Amino acid sequence: MFDSLLFDLMLIGALGVGSQWLAWRFRIPAIVIMSIVGLVVGPLLGILQPSEDFGELFNPIVSIAVAIILFEGSLSLDFREVKGLGKPVTRIVTVGAFIAWLLGSLGAHYVAGLSLPVAFVIGGLFIVTGPTVILPMLRQAKLKPRPAAILKWEGIVVDPFGALLSVFAFEIIVFFSTDNVTGTSLLYFFLASIFAVVLGYALGKVMGYMFENGHVPEFLMSPMMFTTVILCFTVSDEIVHETGLLAVTAMGMTLANMHISSIDDIRHFKENISVLLVSAIFVMLTASITVDTLQQILDWKIISYVIIMLFVVRPLSIWLSTIGTDLSYQERALIGWIAPRGIVALTVAGYFSGVLLETGYEDASLLTPITFALVFSTVCAHGFSIGWLAKKLDLANEGKPGVLIVGGSSFSSGLASVLKELKLPVLITDSSWQRLIPARKAGVPFMKEEILSEQTDYHLDMTPYDYLIAGSELDSYNALVCKTFVPDIGRNNLFQMSLHNRLSGDLETMGNKIGGRLLFNEKATWEYLNNKVDNGYIFRKTNITAQYTFTQYLEEREEESLLLFVLKSSGKLQFFTHKSQPKAEAGDVVVALVPPSKEFKKIKERITDNTN
């Protein structure tokens, strides 16, 4: 319709980001929607043909995107996290990854019929489960903490190493398969690899030093980092092909372990860029798949290989690597089944496919259809079965939305108690044992942690919690907590206590920008709520029915009562805020903080009824 690169770029961006939004909106794996969209506009309708439209620019665009995606993933490789991993995770990301690589490569050679160099390259890619796929899947399934943590850290730790393993497998096998192998060429290869690591390390150190010591203004940090990643990849790759990926991963790991104060801002920027690039590149790759490639996917060799990867390689690598650990049979069964390959695998596979074809391996043309078949199969099979299987194995939470409360107090403990009675996951965190005394007395889950500390990420599993309430006595701290967790929880699910009107100054007008949604009403400050609880106010649950409507409930409630939230029959929580007054319907539960006089009156009525 529109024969221009501008239209192609617009369409790729719109389809990629639109697919991500639809996936979030309907809780469907994003890769499924992007696969369908890419196939429809590409080989089926012929609207988009990126490999032809972009010409010589296609491979450089994919290469740079892969470099940035791997750099973003390596920013998560903090050695402190690896040291804190338990024995099962350590085994899985070392022994398990090696077994999976070996079995997957041999399967690709003997079942799919690939040559050994191509087989070992693709085997390295297929050890990656990738956080971009596994993390949304875990949040949707709401697994219990231990299996969720194992799957999460496996994806984070193994993600950058899959492509690197493929690089080394490719370089070493190609090197030894040539006729003129010499000691000099072997030495050159290893020196080039060392140079790539040193280059990445040096650039990471330089950038970290400049950022930490104020030599780069805040507004230039992300653009400069973005440019440096491309510089690192390009210089290394121009010296020796395929070592650019090694260089950017070394750079990311160096920055991750310098623990500079601005690393979180850089990581958020890279995450945003990665989401955009992953979406765009995935649509480009799937749209570039030809009808012949789609027909190749239906080949019995490829189907057999996918089945072996699903039902033999993954379960066997997990069971063998976790022998002697404290994992239960149920946990080993679940982890042995869940291994969705994602967008990174297909993106990097598209990159290696072109490199291998240029090197002379004609069977590399099968790399994309095999990868696409495995990615699509695992995402669909694991994405739609993880919740069902976790429930069958008793490894799933109840699935109701959980609440994380930051700040221990009488009110937060009472609120946590009523949420616990409603069978909702709840946890109170505070850095002070003194402020956690009410939670300990109330018998509600609590954790002594500073929520803003980096170490908390290693100890606290956020999977069960869909909502966060910042409930400390400090307005500024509550606002900072909410701002910190916007990327993880979402602005609409972040709440904080009403501001201290006499001390807040301009914080009231800043709330929409830096804080969470203000709870309940303007007078419901930290002091107000805790004074009410200390003076005997009760958290009361009221069932709304067809006979006892919400309107009747509002008319009969005491004027001093404070509406807190509505638990919908669907399981969703709706909190009362300054700007939101939810309505309850039949089947919902309304929770309010009511004066003790009403409770005493009800108790007296029950005693009278029992006496009569």
SS in 3 state form for 18-69?
HHHHHHHHHCCCHHHHHHHHHHHHHHHCCCCCHHHHCHHHHHHHHHHHHHHH
For residue 180, name the pLDDT band (cuts at 50, 70, 90): low
Distance of CA 413 to the CA centre of its chain: 29
Q: In the predicted model, is pLDDT for residue 208 greater than 70?
A: yes
Out of 51-65, 82-96, 106-120, 320-334, pick the least confident: 82-96
* pLDDT at residue 319, rounded to an integer: 92
Closest of 474, 476, 597, 587 to residue 537, by C-alpha: 597
CATH, domain range 402-611: 3.40.50.720
Cα(288)–Cα(291) distance, integer angstroms = 10
Give percent above pLDDT 70 in the chain: 81
Rounded to whole angstroms, the Cα distance separating 8 from 10 reads 5
Nearest CA to 226 among 287, 182, 280, 267? 267
Among 55-59, 125-129, 217-221, 566-570, top mean pLDDT goes to: 566-570
Residue 348 pLDDT exceeds 50: yes
- pLDDT of 608 > 80? The answer is no
> How many C-beta atoms lie closer than 10 Å to residue 391's C-beta?
15
Least confident of 49-63, 100-114, 376-390: 49-63
- pLDDT at 144 exceeding the cut of 70: yes
Cβ(337)–Cβ(387) under 8 Å?
A: no
What pLDDT digit, counting tens, does each position of 246-277 carry? 788 888 888 888 877 666 666 666 666 767 77
Residue with the bigger pLDDT between 370 and 453: it is 370
Task: Provide the pLDDT for residue 202.
Answer: 92
Residue 414 pLDDT exceeds 50: yes
If you average pLDDT over residues 431-437, what whole number do you get?
A: 86
DSSP character at residue 362: G
Angle value at C-alpha 401, between 419 and 147, nearest 5 degrees: 110
Report pLDDT for 36.
84
pLDDT confidence of residue 154: 79
CATH topology of domain 5-45+59-392: Na+/H+ antiporter like fold (1.20.1530)
The answer to whether 286 touches 39, Cβ cutoff 8 Å, is yes
pLDDT-derived band of residue 3, with 50, 70 and 90 as boundaries?
Answer: low
Question: Rounded to two decimals, what is the model's pTM?
Answer: 0.66
Which one is predicted more confidently, 201 or 580? 201
User: CATH 3.40.50.720 occupies which residues in the chain?
Assistant: 402-611
Q: What is the pLDDT of residues 32-76, one digit of tens each?
A: 788 788 888 888 888 888 877 887 777 788 778 777 777 776 776
- Mean pLDDT calculated for residue range 102-123: 87
**pLDDT on residue 305:** 92
Most confident of 59-63, 176-180, 246-250, 358-362: 246-250
Question: What residue type is assigned to position 534 of the chain?
Answer: D
pLDDT at position 502, please? 46
Percent of the chain beyond pLDDT 90? 5
End-to-end, the C-alpha distance of the chain in Å comes to: 83
- State how far the Cα of 128 lies from the Cα of 291, in Å rounded to an integer: 27
The model's pLDDT over 293-303, given as tens digits with 9 standing for 90+, comes to 777 778 888 89
Bridge partner residues of 429 (DSSP):
406, 447
Ranges of CATH 1.20.1530.20 domains, the chain = 5-45+59-392
494, pLDDT greater than 50: yes
pLDDT digits 0-9 by tens, 535-550: 888 888 888 888 888 8
Query: Considering the chain, what is the average pLDDT of its residues?
Result: 79
